[in-house]
Amino acid sequence: MAGWDVHTHLIPPTVLSAAHKGEFGLSVDSGSLVVDGQRLPLRRLADPAALLHWVAEQELDGAVVSVPPALFRYDAGVEWAELVNQGLRELATPQLRVLGQLPLLDPEAPAVAASLAGEGVFSGYALGTPSYEGLDAVWQVLHAVEAFTLIHPGHSDDKRLESFYLTNLLGNPYETGLAAASLVFADVPGRFPGIRFCLCHGGGVTAALAGRWQRGIDTARPGIEPPSLPVADALRRFYVDDLVHDDAVLELLGSTFGADRVLAGSDWPFPMGSDSVSSARAVAAGELTAPLAKEVVAP
């Protein structure tokens, strides 16, 4: 089988080095990276060889790598993004294509995005789910280079989710849906059609709420300025991964986003990921995971 897993994670070696030195507020304790109060067990997250073993085991062409969401750290600014991106450069190989880190809420974010686009190393960007308000300058850069842009949920601040692992089971799908809604209602897919957004975890709650969003537009609910595209058309400009653990939901993704917009994504190596990649949904080599200049990533 040939294809790419678009949703895998590694901790960049530069981050590990900084943690061992106690820099950037990081530390290593009992085999885990400690970052902003969260613990990331190192093991496979710090082992590119283990990811390459997964690629071989699944008979894939390769994997698209982004950092775990705990490392987005948008309050840490440009210096943090530089540290992460240097580590991602070190991870990049023909079989491991990397998604760049942006200091998304910093004024320098558009310049960083443009700089990464010109390197020929990065195959796109990975974004978390903070507020997307005021990011048109970033979207313009991503549109111009037709960037593959993975949207991965960050941690929800809702304290009601602290029981039953709901921060992940419910919080993550909600965060992704919130990001998608923010993009749709701000008309980002209509105004910046070059961006190839890909929503993790099947887009979270997005497909289930698409009709409700359109109803809000149709009935002129407060605060809504009708975007240039109906919700159904806007969502057809997104990609999603297939990580939903439910065949019925997978069918809903096909009808909502389009069957050709549902990509293979495992969330390797996290426990809530999948145990295998479907050959039917693996991404064709070089199609969506090509770098920003739409050429094959050089070794």
What span, in angstroms and rounded, lies between the C-alpha atoms of 291 and 13? 22
> Where does residue 164 rank: exposed (0-12), middle (13-18), buried (19+ CB within 10 A)?
exposed
94-132 confidence digits (pLDDT tens):
999 999 999 999 999 999 999 999 999 999 999 999 999
Please give the pLDDT value at position 159.
94
Query: Who's near 261: CB < 8 A, 6+ residues apart?
Result: 236, 238, 239, 240
| Residue numbers in the chain where pLDDT is lower than 50 | 280, 284-286, 289-299
Predicted pLDDT at 290: 39
Give the pLDDT of residue 170: 96
227-255 residue pLDDT tens: 999 999 999 999 999 999 999 999 999 99
Pull the structure tokens for residue 285: 């080599």
Could you tell me which of 215, 224, 237, 222 has the C-alpha nearest to residue 185?
224
What confidence tens digit (pLDDT) does each residue in 182-195 have? 999 999 999 999 99
Question: Please, what CATH class does the domain formed by 4-289 belong to?
Answer: alpha beta
Q: Where are the domains of the chain?
A: 4-289
What predicted TM-score, i.e. pTM, was given to this entire model?
0.93
